[in-house]
């Protein structure tokens, strides 16, 4: 059964909201130059997905989607640990987080 | 299934082995661990089983791709030279355990039966790779490669997940079987939810990112060039094999019913990958960067088999990955020792010029390199020839004539840049001294060469299994 509180908002609205958040995340990744902000945008994308999964899961009364969200959160935490470590390592060497400075590798 | 469990335990064990004073035990220990995993995989041959609440399927596809990945990992560990025994700033125990962990992820990607398993497998593999790319902490190139790989990889994961969420919204299931049933019935009644198409698109984009197909390949050359060469060898083989196994499984099992929708798109991507990979590779001055573009182009050939979607595609992808992995490992193995011969502008010399006159100083290394280049170019009597042959015959079966013509033309372009190395080795005058290579290293390189030639002469050794 779908709880009545949830039913007040149609499923489409959740899809629109999640897609909007996801697109904001993509734009952030593509346009920002600070490594941490890019990273935050990626997290925004992941959380948009979480929202979407929870909405689908609730409307279908199917717990699988919510279990998936736990997996995403756990993996995202691991990714944050690795990502921040890489960013710290880089900052120690370059003293900057500007990805525009990352141009040692090109043909 | 046992191989997945055992490898994750061995990885932890390896970390504890790092406490020992002598680091020399790590390399043989890792080899033994991988051999045990290979044996555990092999004994599951001809079994059909589902494990972990129907999330992992063990069948011959799983066993054969796992075997390729484990053999490749054995070879890569064989040329790893303990990551410098006496050097203070390397951490061999950690590197070896991360390698073992990443293989766990790769095996999960091959055997997945549920999109949760696919996601977890992709992430275990990718996160391990981000770390390995950045292991050379003091080198700016390695740092930059790690950051680029991490940001692009996480971005791709986000796209992949969005696709999974949309597919879940349309089908109500993460299981491959459930998705396939929905796709088939919905296609019959012409009532496919648009969410499914959006999801399929995003899921495929995410996977194509991981296997570095053309419009999503831009991170590959930088990452492959910046990473330490041994890990470049590891990621260009293992990630590609596992990625294509997963992509093939998605395309044929879950979305086989929606073939009409994704075939055209994937065909265009295959053509783009072939064109961009091969033509850009021809312009490179750095051998390592050329190998990165060549790995993009090989992704194009493999995509051809996925697009064809005939029963033979599976064995074609299998054989091609095997031939490609063997040749790539030996090419990078030779590059590792040759690039250390004489530094160029403060870093290892990875230009074509580094190979000048290698045939005079080290005929054996030159021979290994020649066989590997011939195999990558697809010259007969090497495994690479049969790999291309099987892929092209799958394409013929799938009526992909136009694609086939482009692929054949592009493999001619491939011959040009692969032969540049051979010419440099045999015709140019020597610049450096003889390279001293340890016996274990030499043995591994010889093994890859012998296997490449063996499968080139008797391709039925592999193909008779199917």
Q: What's the rounded Cα separation, in Å, for the pair B195 and B188?
A: 17
Task: Say if residue B290's pLDDT is above 90.
Answer: yes
Burial state string for B283-304 with b = 16 or more CB within 10 A and e = fewer than 16:
ebebbbbbbbbbbbbbbbbbbb
How high is the pLDDT of residue B85?
60
Residue of B188 and B389 predicted with greater confidence: B389
B317–chain A Cβ distance below 8 A for any pair: no
* Cβ-based contacts of A32 with chain B (< 8 Å): none
Over the stretch B38-87, which tens digit does the pLDDT of each residue have?
A: 999 999 888 888 988 889 999 989 999 999 999 999 999 999 887 766 56
Contact between residue B435 and residue B334 where contact means Cβ atoms under 8 Å apart: no
Going by C-alpha positions, the residue among B314, B387, B310, B311 that lies closest to residue B62 is B314
| β-strand pairing of B49-51 with B56-58 | antiparallel
Determine the distance in angstroms separating the CA of A25 from the nearest CA of chain B, rounded to an integer: 9
Among chain B residues, the shortest Cα distance to A18 is held by B162
Say yes or no to pLDDT of B359 above 90.
no
Intervals of chain A under pLDDT 50 = 107
Q: Would you call A37 an interface residue with chain B, using a CB distance cutoff of 8 Å? A: no
* Per-residue confidence (pLDDT) for residue B138, from 0 to 100: 83
Q: Which residue has the higher pLDDT, B178 or B341?
A: B178
pLDDT digits (tens, 9 = 90+) for B119-156: 999 999 999 999 999 988 888 888 889 999 999 999 99
Record: contact A68-B168, CB cut-off 8 A: yes
Q: Do residues B287 and B226 touch, judged by C-beta distance below 8 A? A: no
Chain B residues within an 8 Å CB radius of A46: 157-158, 161
Residues within 8 A of A (CB atoms), B 132-171 only: 134, 137-138, 140-141, 143-148, 150-151, 154-155, 157-159, 161-162, 164-166, 168-169
Supply the pLDDT for residue B87: 65
What pLDDT, on the 0 to 100 scale, is given for residue B368?
Answer: 94
- pLDDT value of position B190: 73
Per-residue model confidence (pLDDT) at position B278: 93
> B401-426 and B287-308 helices cross at what angle (nearest 10)?
160
For residue A75, list chain B residues with Cβ-Cβ distance below 8 A: 119-120, 123, 127
pLDDT at A39: 92
In this predicted structure, what is the pLDDT of residue A106? Answer: 62
Q: What percent of chain B has pLDDT over 90?
A: 63
B120 touches chain A (CB under 8 A): yes
Extract the tokens encoding A36. Answer: 């941490």
> What is the predicted pLDDT for the residue at B96?
92
For B18-36, write each residue's pLDDT tens digit: 888 777 888 899 999 999 9
Considering its fold, how many domains does chain B have in total? Answer: 1
Do B220 and B292 contact (CB within 8 A), yes or no?
yes
For residue range B412-457, list pLDDT tens digits in order.
Answer: 999 999 999 999 899 988 877 778 888 888 999 999 999 999 999 9
Q: What is the mean pLDDT of residues B369-398?
A: 93
Report, as an integer, the average pLDDT of B183-203: 87
Q: How far is CA B281 from the centre of its chain?
A: 18
- Confidence category of residue B198, pLDDT binned at 50, 70, 90: very high
Q: Looking at chain B from residue 361 to 420, which residues have their Cβ under 8 Å from any Cβ of chain A?
A: none
Burial of B13 (0-12, 13-18, 19+ CB in 10 A): middle
Task: Give residue for tokens 């996925």.
Answer: B306
> For residue B409, what are the contacts with CB-CB under 8 A and spacing of at least 6?
none
User: Is B16 an interface residue toward A (CB < 8 Å)?
Assistant: no
- Domain containing B34 equals 2-463
Percent of chain B predicted with pLDDT > 70: 98
Average pLDDT, chain B: 90
The answer on pLDDT for B240 being more than 80 is: yes
Name the CATH architecture for the domain at A4-98.
Answer: Orthogonal Bundle (1.10)
Residue pairs between chains A and B whose CB atoms are closer than 8 Å: 124
Average pLDDT score over residue span B2-26: 89
How far is A22 from B221, CA to CA, in rounded Å? 27
Residue from B259, B282, B214 nearest B400 by CA: B259
What local confidence, expressed as pLDDT, does residue B307 receive? Answer: 92
Torsion of CA B50, B54, B56, B61, to 10 degrees: 50
Output the pLDDT for position A96: 84
């Amino acid at each position: 059964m779908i709880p009545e509180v949830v039913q007040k908002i149609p499923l489409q609205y959740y899809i629109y909201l999640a897609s909007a958040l996801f697109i904001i995340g993509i734009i952030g990744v593509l346009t920002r130059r600070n490594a941490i902000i890019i990273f935050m945008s990626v997290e925004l994308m992941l959380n948009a997905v979480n929202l979407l999964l929870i909405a689908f899961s609730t409307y279908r009364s199917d717990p699988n989607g919510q279990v998936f969200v736990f997996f995403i959160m756990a993996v995202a935490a691991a990714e944050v640990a690795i990502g921040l470590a890489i960013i710290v390592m880089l900052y120690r060497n370059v003293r900057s987080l500007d990805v525009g400075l990352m141009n040692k590798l090109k043909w | 299934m046992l191989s997945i469990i055992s490898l994750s335990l061995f990885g932890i064990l390896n970390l504890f082995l790092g406490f020992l004073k002598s680091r020399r035990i790590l390399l043989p220990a890792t080899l033994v661990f991988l051999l045990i995993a290979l044996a555990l995989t092999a004994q599951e041959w001809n079994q059909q089983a589902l494990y972990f609440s129907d999330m992992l399927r063990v069948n011959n596809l799983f066993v054969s791709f796992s075997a390729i990945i484990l053999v490749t990992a054995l070879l890569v560990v064989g040329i790893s030279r303990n990551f410098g025994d006496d050097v203070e700033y390397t951490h061999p125990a950690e590197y070896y355990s991360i390698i073992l962990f990443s293989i766990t992820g790769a095996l999960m990607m091959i055997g997945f039966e549920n999109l949760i398993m696919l996601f977890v497998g992709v992430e275990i593999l990718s996160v391990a790779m981000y770390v390995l790319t950045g292991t050379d902490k003091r080198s700016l190139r390695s740092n930059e490669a790690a950051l680029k790989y991490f940001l692009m990889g996480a971005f791709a994961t986000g796209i992949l997940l969005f696709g999974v969420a949309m597919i879940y919204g349309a089908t109500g299931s993460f299981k491959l079987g459930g998705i396939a049933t929905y796709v088939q019935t919905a296609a019959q009644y012409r009532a496919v939810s648009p969410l499914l198409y959006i999801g399929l698109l995003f899921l495929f984009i995410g996977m194509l990112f991981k296997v570095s197909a053309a419009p999503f390949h831009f991170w590959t050359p930088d990452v492959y060039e910046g990473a330490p060469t041994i890990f470049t060898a590891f990621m260009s083989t293992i990630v590609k094999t596992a990625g294509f196994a997963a992509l093939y499984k998605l395309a044929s099992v879950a979305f086989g019913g929606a073939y009409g929708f994704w075939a055209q798109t994937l065909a265009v991507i295959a053509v783009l990958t072939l064109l961009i990979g091969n033509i850009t590779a021809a312009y490179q001055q750095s051998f390592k960067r050329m190998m990165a573009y060549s790995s993009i182009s090989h992704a194009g050939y493999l995509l051809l088999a996925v697009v064809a979607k005939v029963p033979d595609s599976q064995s074609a992808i299998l054989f091609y990955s095997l031939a490609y992995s063997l040749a790539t490992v030996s090419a990078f193995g030779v590059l590792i020792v040759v690039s250390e011969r004489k530094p160029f502008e403060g870093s290892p010399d990875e230009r074509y010029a580094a190979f000048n006159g290698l045939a005079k100083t080290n005929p054996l290394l030159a021979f290994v390199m020649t066989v590997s280049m011939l195999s990558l170019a697809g010259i007969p009597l090497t495994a690479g020839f049969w790999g291309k042959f099987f892929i092209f015959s799958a394409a013929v079966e799938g009526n992909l004539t136009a694609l086939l013509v482009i692929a054949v033309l592009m493999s001619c372009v491939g011959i040009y840049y692969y032969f540049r190395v051979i010419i440099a080795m045999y015709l140019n005058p020597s610049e450096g001294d003889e390279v001293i290579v340890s016996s274990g290293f030499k043995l591994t390189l010889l093994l890859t060469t012998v296997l490449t030639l063996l499968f080139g002469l008797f391709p039925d050794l592999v193909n008779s299994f199917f």
